Structure 1
């Protein structure tokens, strides 16, 4: 019986479709430690195989570290601050906590209440 020695095949980098990569929000949440343990595990497993997402996480970490260390030097443009202030002033007040337990008024209010309840149960 002769033994043939096979050399292992060189592994090619895995290709991922664009929808399989970590989203920008997932990358930011991963870097900030805001993902659930299960989501963190999935992200880590994905990054073992995906150099693109690993690079994105590295860039996000660098940016976060830079913002933390240079926060006194970073200033928002005054025009942006003014626009955000105008938006905050022009927005009507939302419902308060006391409004959440109140029964909806009128037919459309009841339809809206029912619609929101159905959506909440579907997303859970």
Structure 2
């Protein structure tokens, strides 16, 4: 059998190759943008960070997205960066086609029905006021 190698049993002649990922295992463009913008849940962001430890391609995509986002944040009108009119038209039409959300008048309110309901409301109000 032979002696165990000091590197944990791996053969000395074998080099560790970077892990290869199938295309479905990479972060999607939407996930990359959400990661850079801080819009992922903490669990999803953790999984993305773990993935990027092993995946150079996704790490590079995140880096490119960060640089592009920073460039857009810091650009001025003199930089010559312009939004195509077709994109502005599409974004405007999306904003106009979204239905209005519920207003305060749409909120369902039912007054407390029992004495226990009233006590519960009073108790929660006292707890909130003490927490401040």
Superposition TM-score tier, normalisation by shorter sequence: 0.5 to 0.7
Which runs of no fewer than 5 residues in structure 1 stay unpaired? 102-124
Give the Cα–Cα distance (whole angstroms) in 2 for the partners of residues 4 and 87 of structure 1.
Answer: 64
2:83 aligns with: 76
1:117 aligns with: none
Per-residue CA shift, 1:66-124, capped at 9, x if unaligned?
111114343323454456556656x48546435576xxxxxxxxxxxxxxxxxxxxxxx
What's the RMSD between the two structures over aligned residues?
3.0
> Which among 66, 71, 74 is matched to residue 66 of structure 1?
71
TM-score w.r.t. length of structure 1: 0.61
Give the Cα–Cα distance (whole angstroms) in 1 for the partners of residues 3 and 85 of structure 2.
Answer: 76
| Mapping for residues 28-39 of structure 1, pairs under 5 Å | 28-39=33-44
Which runs of no fewer than 5 residues in structure 2 stay unpaired? 6-10, 109-132
1:53 corresponds to 2:58? yes
2:18 aligns with: 13
More helix per residue: 1 or 2?
1
SS at match of 1:35: coil
Deviation of the 1:9 alpha carbon: 2.8
Give the Cα–Cα distance (whole angstroms) in 2 for the partners of residues 94 and 84 of structure 1.
Answer: 16
| Greater Rg over alpha carbons, structure | 2
